[in-house]
Amino acid sequence: MYTESMASLADYPMALRTPNPAITIRPVRAGDTPGLRAACWPERDFETVYRFVMRARQTAAQGRGLGVTALDDAGAVAGYGQFTLWPRCGEISDLIVTPDCRGRGIGTAIIQYLTRAAREMGAGCVEIGVQAHNASALALYRRLGFKDSYTREMDLGSGLEPIIYLRLKLPPPSR
């Protein structure tokens, strides 16, 4: 049966739609560390990735965010993303999809999963930053409904570069 709530859901930005159920996304686990290091951050040492994962798990345990791992069809790490709830706005960060899994909707599914979690945690908005030269990520975020908000110069390891922050206003959680 078609209801008004179903009609209003269709009006939501793509970021708030249900992620593709064929893509496995789950909260990050300590045991994901070797796979995340190998597939997403081979330039980092094991201890650095482990601390990163444990920080995401601690934030989730405190109810202030969530780190997630996406898995490919074989159960191997395909991507990662996290959400942190800040006083003014939530932030999606550290989004990465392994090169061999790009173009399959995994980045979209991670963002949808995290955006819906942010909404349920009571965030009024979510923002995501992207290097200005990363045209494919910028196009994805805009397609999902994020709007350009501000630009900030940051050093991500190669000197100062422009980072574009995009924002999405969230409707109140359904109760």
- Total-model pTM: 0.89
Total count of domains within the chain: 1
CATH number of the domain at 96, please.
Answer: 3.40.630.30
Q: Are 30 and 59 in contact (CB under 8 A)?
A: no
Predicted confidence (pLDDT) per residue in 123-156, tens digit? 999 999 999 999 999 999 999 999 999 999 988 7
Range of the domain at 46: 4-124
pLDDT value at 175 more than 90: no
pLDDT value at 78 more than 50: yes
Whether residue 143 lies inside any domain: the answer is no
pLDDT value of position 130:
95
Whether residue 174 lies inside any domain: the answer is no
Predicted confidence (pLDDT) per residue in 52-74, tens digit? 999 999 999 999 999 999 999 99
Whether residue 148 lies inside any domain: the answer is no
Whether residue 91 lies inside any domain: the answer is yes
